[in-house]
């Protein structure tokens, strides 16, 4: 039977993408459009016991196969009645066998035992019953290839103790059953309990530990993508109780999708109530921040200043402002670090002694005394005041030399960031510190001061909540030893303040080539390795103890592909993003230019109604970070993992 489905189409409409030109219906197969053949199978026999992820072999089948699972809950009253009826039949059969002296059927004995166990668990409320239909649709280019593919799929099902049968004379209904419409016109279902049904869904990677349901921080994990080995979804909860800390490092060469992946995690973390602060050296997070109503702070712009002399002032429950007991000592030590980053090197011992005395004298001149915490809430001095103290003609020569070296940052070309009190504070669900307007000579210092401002906000006990601190292009700060030491201290102490530090850098060799860089990496419970250059792969292999296969994978990985390591487990994954997420996260000049030409308005509330026509999309609402693969191949890979639920 042949049905001609041709109709006038409106160019560019979303519906026209899914309507085949022709549809030929056969006894056991369909011919769709220009030569594509499909055949549908229904699973009518299942094993007695199943393990978690038992559908994974079907999803990783090399051919194109659609897997649909239709679920219909059975109400408790009906479930109890059916179980009683089934138990009565089984017991009647067993008694009849015993009365006639026949041998017991082991299958009946096993079924009776399972029925009693299931009835007990349903009665105690430990599980429920569901009517489940499992259907497979196999795709091929021709009739001969289809027969071979169907035979291979049936053999695979047999190896899993699944009995897959052709849906004869209902090929069209079988194909409709596996489409993402939630329809089941075939209706060939079996009864499952809760544990067996839950084990069927490959919603988590079998290579990663399951999230801790007892975690008070967040409900579940962030989706990173899908497992390249099993097609299961890969997600990680960085704030879970079983994680040693909440830190993460993302290492990859330029163009590997490093910043893209960080933005995806950031956006998905915001949906889970995790506050995020970003240090953005290249102004890549502006569109994302504008879309979600975040706060953007442009360091280097007129009127935007950060004062390194600010003491951490907290507001207590009684409304009174105070500083921690060791605030003055810690601030003095930080000023030593800040001056060392400004000068590009640590001062010699005599200069350090002079600087230490000048810091104390500068605070005292502003009315802030080290031994009197009541004075710590007064307005802090400025870098200019420190320079003036060091320039005292009666002071040592080392102090006057330091004053001369600080001149460009007080009265010279680089004074814009320090010529007044702090003008802004990092508050809000998303705060982005943009460093693009800072001169290159101040980027390391700007990163350090931003981290310090963020850290004072994170350590405020009155504002304790889960937070992520993202340092993009961290090599800018890691180039300076004083800055690397500050980042290391922050990585070690973040866990105690319910915060996670995310360090992303493309200079992998420089970071792993120093002790502090390796220490920052070692203090990250979540480690993501994207594609690496041949020059850095030896160091990466040594530090992360990669196998020969993992080394080769990182050398040849496509964009968005990488290794995700949490604790002792490691999994290869492919990052995926929705069309709207791609619009907000992409930094491709060609894609941004196309968006500007199309006049697309970035709006956080537009995702539900926007058409599936964003650049780089495949027409199904999701895209791979790897744009090099043909769209039809990417679509086949995702279609093979599609699961349809019918809760009716």
**How is 59-121 classified by DSSP, letter by letter?**
HT-SS-EEEEEEEEE--HHHHHHHHHHHHHHHHHHHHHHHHTTPPPPHHHHHHHHHHHHHHHH
Judge contact between 36 and 149, C-beta under 8 A. Answer: no
**H helices then E strands: how many in the chain?**
22, 22
Cβ–Cβ < 8 Å for 412, 298: no
What is the pairing mode between strands 275-280 and 430-434?
A: parallel
Residue 530 pLDDT: 92
372 inside domain? yes
Q: What is the pTM of this model?
A: 0.62
pLDDT top residue among 555 and 609: 555
- Residue 358's SS3 state is helix
Strand partners, 73: 130
Residue 643, pLDDT > 90, answer no
d(CA 12, CA 346) in angstroms, rounded, equals: 63
> 284-341, pLDDT tens digit by residue?
888 899 899 888 888 888 888 888 898 887 665 555 666 777 888 888 988 998 898 8
Average pLDDT, whole number, for the chain? 79
Q: Which domain holds residue 10?
A: 2-74+128-198
598, part of any domain: yes
pLDDT band per the 50, 70, 90 thresholds, residue 602:
very low
Confidence of residue 506 (pLDDT cuts 50, 70, 90): confident
**164 phi and psi, to 5 degrees?**
-100, 125
pLDDT higher at 208 or 260: 260
Interatomic CA distance for residues 333 and 356, integer angstroms: 9
Predicted pLDDT of residue 33:
80
Asked if residue 177 has pLDDT above 90, the reply is: yes
Q: How far apart are CA 276 and CA 487, in angstroms?
A: 17
Burial of 403 (0-12, 13-18, 19+ CB in 10 A): buried
User: Would you list the DSSP string of 248-277?
Assistant: EEEE--TTSSHHHHHHHHHHHHHTTT-EEE
**Residues found in the chain:** 648
Report the pLDDT value the prediction gives residue 647, as an integer from 0 to 100.
30
How far is 170 from 134, CA to CA, in rounded Å?
Answer: 16
pLDDT grade, residue 449 (50/70/90)? confident
**Quick one: tokens of 255?**
């163009």
DSSP H helical ranges for 545-630 = 548-556, 579-585, 589-598
Closest CA to 22 of 9, 5, 39: 5
Res 240 pLDDT > 50: yes
Note the pLDDT of residue 167. Answer: 93
Which residues sit opposite 139 in a β-bridge? 38
Q: Is residue 147 included in any domain, yes or no?
A: yes
Strand partners, 432: 278, 296
Specify the pLDDT at position 138. 94
The set of residues, in sequence order, having a beta carbon less than 8 Å from that of 187 and lying 6+ positions away, is: 133
Q: By the 8 A CB rule, do 523 and 491 touch?
A: yes
Least confident of 2-6, 87-91, 418-422, 433-437: 2-6
Q: Which of 558, 577, 571 is nearest to 528 (CA)?
A: 571
**Domain identity same for 191 and 329:** no
| Mean local confidence (pLDDT), 506-520 | 78
Instruction: Give the list of residues 6+ apart from residue 253 with CB closer than 8 angstroms, or none.
Output: 506, 508, 530, 531, 532, 533, 536
Q: How many domains does the chain have?
A: 3
Q: What is the pLDDT of residue 505?
A: 85
Higher model confidence: residue 420 or residue 105? 420
**Tens digits of per-residue pLDDT, 364-379?**
999 998 888 888 888 8
Listed range (49-53, 169-173, 388-392) with the worst mean pLDDT:
49-53
Give the integer Cα–Cα distance in Å for 186 and 134: 11
Residue 220 — very low, low, confident or very high, per pLDDT cuts 50/70/90? low
As a whole number of angstroms, the distance between CA 252 and CA 527 comes to 11
Residue ending a domain, among 173, 198, 223, is: 198
pLDDT mean over 404-433: 85
pLDDT at 615: 33
Under DSSP, is residue 596 helix (H, G, I), strand (E, B) or coil? helix
Residue 438 lies in a domain: no
C-alpha span between 554 and 530 (Å, rounded)? 6
What would the mean pLDDT of 513-525 be, rounded to a whole number?
83
Beta carbons of 390 and 400 less than 8 angstroms apart: yes
**Residue in 383, 381, 421, 382 with CA at minimum distance from that of residue 402:** 383
CA 59-65-66 angle, 5° bins: 85
Considering only CA atoms, which of 485, 445, 450 is closest in space to residue 469? 450
Q: How far apart are CA 503 and CA 521, in angstroms?
A: 9
Q: Which two tokens stand for residue 174?
A: 């079988």
Q: Is the pLDDT of residue 212 over 50?
A: no
Q: Where is average pLDDT lowest: 351-360, 461-470, 504-513?
A: 504-513
Residue 208 has pLDDT above 70, yes or no: no
Same domain, 327 and 194: no
Residue with tokens 């200043």: 305
3-state DSSP assignment of residue 169: coil
Main-chain phi, psi angles of 193, to 5 degrees = -95, 180
Of 392, 414, 436, the position where a domain reaches its end is 414
pLDDT of residue 186: 93
Q: Residue 589, exposed/middle/buried by CB under 10 A (0-12, 13-18, 19+)?
A: exposed
Does residue 581 belong to any structural domain of this protein?
yes
In a domain, 537, yes or no: no
> Is 429 within 8 Å of 463 (Cβ atoms)?
no
Asked, for residue 527, whether it belongs to a domain, the answer is no
- Please give the pLDDT value at position 210: 47
The span from the CA of 533 to the CA of 530, in Å, is 10
Q: Identify the domain boundary among 414, 445, 479.
A: 414
Structure tokens at 59: 């999803």
Neighbouring-strand partners of residue 622: 578
pLDDT > 90 in the chain, percent: 19
pLDDT at 124: 64
Answer whether residue 648 is part of any domain: no
CATH code: domain of residue 405: 1.10.8
Task: Tell me what the mean pLDDT of segment 537-546 comes to.
Answer: 88
Do 74 and 191 meet the contact criterion of CB atoms below 8 Å apart?
Answer: yes
Q: What residues contact residue 78 under an 8 Å CB cut-off, 6+ apart?
A: none
Q: What would the DSSP string read from start to end of 506-524?
A: S-HHHHHTSHHHHHHHHT-
- For residue 197 the two structure tokens come to 């049904």
Which has more pLDDT, 553 or 14? 553
Any idea which of 132-141, 539-548, 606-615 has the lowest mean pLDDT?
A: 606-615
Q: Can you give the pLDDT at residue 123?
A: 65
Q: Is the predicted pLDDT of residue 551 greater than 80, yes or no?
A: yes
d(CA 415, CA 74): 72
Task: Return d(Cα 103, Cα 98) in angstroms, integer.
Answer: 8
């Amino acid at each position: 039977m042949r049905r001609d489905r041709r109709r006038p189409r409106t160019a560019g409409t979303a519906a026209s993408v899914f309507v085949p030109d022709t549809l030929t219906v056969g006894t056991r197969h369909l011919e769709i459009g220009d030569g594509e053949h499909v055949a549908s199978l229904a699973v009518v026999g299942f094993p007695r016991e199943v393990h978690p992820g038992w559908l994974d072999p079907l999803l990783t089948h090399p051919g194109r196969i659609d897997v649909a699972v239709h679920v219909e809950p059975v109400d408790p009253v009906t479930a109890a009645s059916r179980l009683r009826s089934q138990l009565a039949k089984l017991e009647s059969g067993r008694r009849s066998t015993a009365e006639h002296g026949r041998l017991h059927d082991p299958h009946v004995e096993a079924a009776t035992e399972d029925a009693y166990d299931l009835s007990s668990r349903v009665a105690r409320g430990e599980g429920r019953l569901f009517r489940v239909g499992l259907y497979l649709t196999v795709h091929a280019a021709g009739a001969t290839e289809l027969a071979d593919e169907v035979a291979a799929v049936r053999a695979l099902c047999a190896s899993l103790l699944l009995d897959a049968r052709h849906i004869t004379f209902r090929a069209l209904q079988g194909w409709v059953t596996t489409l993402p419409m939630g329809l089941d016109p075939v209706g060939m279902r079996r009864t499952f309990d809760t544990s067996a049904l839950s084990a069927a869904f490959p919603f988590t990677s079998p290579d990663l530990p399951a999230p801790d349901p007892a975690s008070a921080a967040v409900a579940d994990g962030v989706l990173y993508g899908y497992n390249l080995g099993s097609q299961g979804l890969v997600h990680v909860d960085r704030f879970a109780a079983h994680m040693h800390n909440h830190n993460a490092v993302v290492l990859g060469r330029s163009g590997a999708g490093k910043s893209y992946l960080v933005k995806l995690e950031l956006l998905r973390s915001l949906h889970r109530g995790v506050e995020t602060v970003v240090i953005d050296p290249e102004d890549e997070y502006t569109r994302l921040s504008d879309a979600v109503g975040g706060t953007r702070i442009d360091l280097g712009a007129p009127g935007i200043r950060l004062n390194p002399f600010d003491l951490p002032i907290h507001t207590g429950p009684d409304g009174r402002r105070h500083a921690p007991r060791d605030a003055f000592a810690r601030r003095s030590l930080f000023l030593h670090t800040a001056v060392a980053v400004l000068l590009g090197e640590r001062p010699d011992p005599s200069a350090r002694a002079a600087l230490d005395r000048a810091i104390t004298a500068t605070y005292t001149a502003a009315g802030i005394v080290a031994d009197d915490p009541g004075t710590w809430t007064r307005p802090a001095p400025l870098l200019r005041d420190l320079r003036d103290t060091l320039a005292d003609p009666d002071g040592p020569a080392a102090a006057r030399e330091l004053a001369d070296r600080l001149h460009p940052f007080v009265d010279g070309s680089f004074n814009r960031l320090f010529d007044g009190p702090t003008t802004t504070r990092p508050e809000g669900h998303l705060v982005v510190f943009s460093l693009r307007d800072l001169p290159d000579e101040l980027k390391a210092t700007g990163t350090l001061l931003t981290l310090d401002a963020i850290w004072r906000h994170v350590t405020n006990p009155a504002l304790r909540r889960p937070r992520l601190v993202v340092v993009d292009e961290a090599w800018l700060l890691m180039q300076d030893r004083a800055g690397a030491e500050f980042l290391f201290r922050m990585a070690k102490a973040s866990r105690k303040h319910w915060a996670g530090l995310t360090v992303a850098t493309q200079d992998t060799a420089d970071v792993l080539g120093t002790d502090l860089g390796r220490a920052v990496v070692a203090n990250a419970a979540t480690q993501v390795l994207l594609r690496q250059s041949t020059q850095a792969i030896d160091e990466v292999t040594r530090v992360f103890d990669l196998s020969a296969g993992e080394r080769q994978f990182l050398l040849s990985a496509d964009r968005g592909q990488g290794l995700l390591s949490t604790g002792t487990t490691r999994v290869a994954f492919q990052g995926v993003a929705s069309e709207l997420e791609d619009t907000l996260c992409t930094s491709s000049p060609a894609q941004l230019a196309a968006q500007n030409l199309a006049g697309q308005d970035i709006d956080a509330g537009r995702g539900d109604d926007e058409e599936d026509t964003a650049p780089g999309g495949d027409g199904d609402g999701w895209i791979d970070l790897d744009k090099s693969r043909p769209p039809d191949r990417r679509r086949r890979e995702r279609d093979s993992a599609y699961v349809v639920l019918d809760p009716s």
